[in-house]
Amino acid sequence: MDASQDDYLDRHRGYTSVDASPSKAIKFLAAMGFHLRSDPSTLNFKGDTVLNDDFVVARYSHDSAAFDYIPPLGQSFNNQLLLHVCLSGSIVLRSTTGSANLKPLDIALVQLEEFRGAVCESSTAGMFIIYRSTEASKHYEMLAGPSNVVYLRILKAAAFSLLQDLPDRLQPGFTQIQRGLEEIAKATAIGAHLYTDADIDSLRKVYVRGLALIRSMATDVSTSIKSIAQDLQVSRSYLLRAFKSQGTTPSVELRKARLHVAKRLLEEGTSTHEAAVTAGFGSPRNLKRALQLDN
C-alpha cells in the first residue's frame, strides 16, 4: 500500500455519518469516488460509512440522482470488488461490461476497475461493500464458487471485519450497518437455497426477506408495512400472513428494530426528540408510545 493510499485511509478511516447540506454531501461522495452529475438540489442524501483496511461498507438513501465513479486519488483498483445491495426503490449500476438494474434485495458484484457509476430515477436506498484486499490469492479465493455463495462470503467477511474493528462509541448508523449485513446475508442464503432448512416454504422466505428489509431500513421514517410489501412485490395481506406464520407482525418487528436504536441513544444521554428522529419514529410522541407498548 503506497503513501497516497495511506493518506486516503487516514482521512476516512472508521465510521462517518452524512446527513448534511447538499454541498457537504456532494463533497463527501466525491471523496469516496462518487461524482454527482444530476441536479444537486434534489439529492437529499443520507449515509453511513465504515472504512477499515479490508472493507468499505456503506448504507445510504437519496432521491433521484446520477453518479459517475472515479476512484479517489491514491486508491488502487487492484483486486478490489464492489458488491451492491438494493434495499428500496431501484438503481441501475453501470460498468464497462454492461448494466444491472437492481430491485430490493437484488445484489450485483463487479470488479471495481470496471465500475463506472449509477443512476436512479426515484428515491432509493441500499448498501455497498468494497472489498479492498491487495492480495491476489485472497481476491480469487473470495470469488470461488456460484454467485450467491460469493455474495454470502463477502457479506459475512464484511460483518466479521466490522466486529473486529469496533469504534469506542457505537453509533446508531454503525449498528444499522452491522444488522443490515447480517440480515441481508440471511436473505441471500434463503434465496440461494443455502439455508439449513432445505424445505423452507414461500411464507418463510417472505418473512426472512421482509425482516432483512425492516432491520436494514428501520431508521428511515418512511419505512412501513406498505413500503416493505411493495419492495418485496407481495400484497400487504401476504406479508402479514408470512409474519403471522412466525408468530409476529411487521409492525411489531419494525417497532422493535427502532426501539433497539432509540434505547441505546437514550442510555447515552441523547434527548428524546433526537432519539425519536434518529431511530425512525419521527416524533417523541411515537417513541413514547412504543416504549409504553414495550413495557
Same domain, 158 and 201: no
User: pLDDT at residue 194 above 50?
Assistant: no
Residues 230-261: pLDDT tens digits? 999 999 999 999 999 999 999 999 999 999 88
Whose CA is closest to 65, among 123, 111, 152? 123
Residue bearing cell 433497539 = 260
What is the per-residue pLDDT for 196?
Answer: 45
Same domain, 28 and 101: yes
- 181 located within any domain: no
The confidence band for 19, taking pLDDT boundaries of 50, 70 and 90, is: confident
Same domain, 35 and 119: yes
What is the per-residue pLDDT for 11?
Answer: 59
CB 36 within 8 A of CB 52: no
DSSP annotation of 145 reads S
Type and span of the H or E element at 243: helix 236-244
The enclosing domain of 147 has a CATH number of: 2.60.120.10
What is the per-residue pLDDT for 198?
Answer: 41
Same domain, 136 and 205: no
What average pLDDT does range 193-217 have in this prediction?
A: 74
Same domain, 14 and 157: yes
Mean pLDDT, all residues of the chain: 84
- 39 located within any domain: yes
Same domain, 26 and 143: yes
CB 86 within 8 A of CB 104: yes
Same domain, 150 and 287: no
What average pLDDT does range 44-55 have in this prediction?
A: 87
Residue burial 257-292, b: 16+ Cβ < 10 Å; e: rest: bbbbbbebbbeeebebeebbbbbbbeeeebbeebbe
- 182 located within any domain: no
- 248 located within any domain: yes
The enclosing domain of 259 has a CATH number of: 1.10.10.60
- Stronger pLDDT, 13 or 63, i.e. the higher one: 63
Radius of gyration of the chain (CA): 19
DSSP annotation of 69 reads E
- 176 located within any domain: no
What is the per-residue pLDDT for 54?
Answer: 85
User: pLDDT at residue 203 above 70?
Assistant: yes
Domain holding 224, by residue range, is: 196-294
- 63 located within any domain: yes
User: pLDDT at residue 142 above 60?
Assistant: yes
Amino acid (1-letter code) at residue 26: I
Domain count, the chain: 2
Q: How many residues does the chain have?
A: 295
What is the per-residue pLDDT for 79?
Answer: 74
Same domain, 8 and 136: yes
- 190 located within any domain: no
Cross-strand partners of 69: 34
Residues 64-99: pLDDT tens digits? 999 999 887 666 666 788 999 999 999 999 999 999
Same domain, 123 and 202: no
What are the backbone dihedrals phi and psi of residue 107, each rounded to the nearest 5 degrees, phi first?
A: -125, 140
Same domain, 262 and 117: no
Q: Which three cell numbers stand for residue 123?
A: 428515491
- 36 located within any domain: yes
Same domain, 51 and 128: yes
